[in-house]
Amino acid sequence: MTDTATGADADEKRLRQLPIKRAHWIIAAVLLWLGMVLTSIPAAWGAWLLQSLTPLQMGQVSGSFWSGRAASAAVQIEGQVLPLGTLRWQFRPLSLLWLQPCVDFETALQRQKLSGRGCGGPAGWRLADGEFNGAAALLSLWWQELQLDGDLSVQIQSAKGDGPNLGAIDGNINWRGARFQYGRTWMSLGSFAAKLKEDGEGGVNAEVFDLDGPIELRLQVNARETLSFSGTIKPREGAPAPLFQALPMIGERGADGGYAVSWSF
């Protein structure tokens, strides 16, 4: 009698597990089908989605929606076009189910590199693990009256916002081997860094300071609808003569030999 009861219990247990196992197989089949569909969708669809969510411009697209490549890419920022070179992307499939598509991306143009993970949807946009390395001369695209040189590096650990309004940002900027053209002379300025944080009003604050070089620099920068600078710049002992000539054009000299800076444009 006991053996009969034990066998009946085992049969009942197996019957209860059948729907669960069947559900597992159905889910696996759906995921497999979804993967096959995504890999068969042409890369042009992925390029269209990326361009609809960002100011990207792409050409010569290949690969698939899931994992694609553009032989040439550029991004428009404040009316100026920044070439990015080759762009590669890879969508994260589960993010599509939540209508918040996320994509890992990287670009390369000679020594200029850009990479990160971006997400966008009705709830806004997010950026994580963003990194840019390139020439500081690129800044002349927006500040055409300035001729700059050196190596520029930007790291964005995280950022989020809604359209043009920034909600939060955590990042930093480094400018090494900084140089500035004054007349016909290139002046070495040293190296600088900046810590980035949101200003609570849709913009970003940057705390800028020197790392090494002929000047001591402490600036507070705010970028929102306008760009404003405030702080002090002080030449160190032994700074090149052209630097002393240029500083009076930047700010008003104080009793300690530093120059107070207050710009807005």
Do residues 25 and 140 both lie within one domain? no
Q: So what's the pLDDT on residue 142?
A: 81
Do residues 87 and 157 both lie within one domain? yes
Residue 108 belongs to domain spanning: 43-264
CA atoms within 13 A on the CB side of 140: 13
Do residues 227 and 185 both lie within one domain? yes
Could you give the number of structural domains in the chain?
A: 2
Do residues 163 and 32 both lie within one domain? no
Contact between 203 and 224 under an 8 Å Cβ cutoff? The reply is: yes
- Dist. CA 232–CA 227, nearest whole Å: 17
Among candidate residues 105, 125, 100, the one with its CA nearest the CA of residue 116: 105
Do residues 148 and 33 both lie within one domain? no
Do residues 36 and 166 both lie within one domain? no
Q: Are strands 204-212 and 215-223 parallel, antiparallel or unpaired?
A: antiparallel
Do residues 25 and 94 both lie within one domain? no
Mean pLDDT by 10 residues, the chain (265 residues): 53 52 63 62 81 85 89 87 93 78 93 93 89 92 84 96 88 95 85 95 94 94 89 89 82 86 86
- Which distant-in-sequence residues (6+ apart) come within 8 Å of 50 by Cβ? 56, 58, 89, 103
Q: Does the global pTM surpass 0.75? A: yes
Do residues 123 and 221 both lie within one domain? yes
Give the distance from CA 102 to its chain's centroid.
14
- Dist. CA 231–CA 259, nearest whole Å: 8
Q: So what's the pLDDT on residue 33?
A: 64
Q: So what's the pLDDT on residue 115?
A: 97
Do residues 192 and 68 both lie within one domain? yes
Do residues 134 and 255 both lie within one domain? yes
